[in-house]
Amino acid sequence: LRKEGFTVIPSVNWDQVGALNKVREQLHMSIIGPIKSPELYESWGLSRPAGVILWGPPGCGKTLVAQAVANEAQASFILINGPELLNKYVGESERAVRELFQRARSSTPCILFFDEMDSLVPRREGTSSDAGVRVVNALLTELDGVQDRSGIYVIGTSNRPDMIDAAMLRPGRLSVRIFVDLPTEDERVDILRTIFRNLHPGATDAELARLEPVARDPRCHDFSGADLGGLHIKAAECGLRRWLKGEKTARDVDDEDWEHALATTAKSVTN
Ligand code: ATP
């Protein structure tokens, strides 16, 4: 699905997302609700599609929740990679922006997802390039397109929202900022369970019971959701390796597998 530019409704749903309940609520208010119950939101004067910035450390589920939002709202989803858009030939980036909104207009409701927004719209003053300035201007023009924008919802992600051009963040543009933080200890338990349940539909109670102590292990401190995904891969690979070698008969991920994973995985976000 990450294939650039395709217009599809993502298959990711909320069952695949651990924790992040508050983020979900906020996204409901600004995107899912307006798409599913337009009259209600209009009657409260909330008819203009909001633009949202999801920000926070890498690997904490920003792309995942954006896809789950599109799925829940049954909206098309177009993924745009910021740096790639900017690296087009002179003049091509602006045309690409116009074409993206054009494509979105032809399949509303639609979520335009700009990954790494900060690279795409660096502050116009100071060091930013000419190409950067023109892309910002093209985006502002589209975001301000009052009539034409109905049904088009923009979500941008950023690790550094302070790097985004201030004009982009004004009301009516990308004015809703939602912080997606590293998970707490309890949230790690929820996320690891979610990852495991989705990948092992036939998991036994014993396997599920092992996940809580793993996620609470001090070595998981400051792990992102992506790190927990990586931890699971290491544990499962260890289990398979040992099973293939005949070192164990049960086809499960056991304590020894998790211990191996914990001993060889490091957090990816340094703070
Ligand atoms: P980046 O800033 O690097 O783009 P991101 O915040 O968009 O990161 P995602 O790409 O959504 O992060 O997450 C990476 C992977 O980590 C997901 O595909 C998923 O496997 C796992 N993951 C992250 N957060 C969660 C979560 N809350 N629940 C379940 N899985 C998660």
Positive or negative: CA dihedral 23, 26, 31, 34? positive
* Residue 164 or 104, more confident: 104
Ligand 1 and 230: CB distance under 6 A: no
Ligand 1 and 83: CB distance under 6 A: no
Residue 1 scores a pLDDT above 60: no
Total-model pTM: 0.92
β-sheet with 110-115: strand ranges across: 76-81, 110-115, 152-158, 51-55, 176-179
Instruction: Give me the pLDDT at residue 6, please.
Output: 58
What number does the ligand 1 atom closest to the CA of 18 have?
28
44-92: pLDDT as tens digits:
998 877 799 999 999 999 999 999 999 999 999 999 988 888 777 667 8
DSSP 1: -
Separation in Å, CA 35 to CA 31, 67, 75, 243 = 6, 15, 8, 49
List CB contacts of 186: < 8 A, sequence separation 6 or more.
none
Instruction: Give me the pLDDT at residue 128, please.
Output: 55
* Percentage, residues of the chain above pLDDT 90: 66
Residue 3 scores a pLDDT above 50: no
16-25: pLDDT as tens digits:
999 999 999 9
How far apart are alpha carbons 119 and 133 in whole angstroms?
A: 12
Least confident of 100-109, 138-147, 223-232, 233-242: 138-147
Give the closest residue (by CA) to ligand 1 atom 16.
Answer: 226
Calculate how far, in angstroms, residue 48's C-alpha sits from the geometric centre of ligand 1. 29
Ligand 1 and 62: CB distance under 6 A: yes
Calculate how far, in angstroms, residue 129's C-alpha sits from the geometric centre of ligand 1. 30
* Residue 235 or 119, more confident: 235
What number does the ligand 1 atom closest to the CA of 54 have?
6
Residue 146 scores a pLDDT above 80: no
28-55: pLDDT as tens digits:
999 999 999 999 999 999 887 779 999 9
- The average confidence (pLDDT) of the chain is 90
Instruction: Give me the pLDDT at residue 48, please.
Output: 79
Tell me the H-state helices in 77-129. Answer: 82-86, 92-105, 117-120
Ligand 1 and 155: CB distance under 6 A: no
Give the closest residue (by CA) to ligand 1 atom 11.
Answer: 61
* Percentage, residues of the chain above pLDDT 70: 92
Residue 104 scores a pLDDT above 80: yes
How far apart are alpha carbons 203 and 42 in whole angstroms?
A: 45
Interface ipTM: 0.97
Calculate how far, in angstroms, residue 68's C-alpha sits from the geometric centre of ligand 1. 12
Distance of CA 197 to the CA centre of its chain: 20
* CB contact at 8 A, 191 and 181: no
What angle (nearest 5°) sits at the alpha carbon of residue 16, between those of residues 105 and 55? 60
Encoded tokens for 228: 């927990």
Phi and psi dihedrals of 250, rounded to 5? Answer: -75, 135
* Residue 215 or 162, more confident: 215
Q: 113: helix, coil or strand?
A: strand
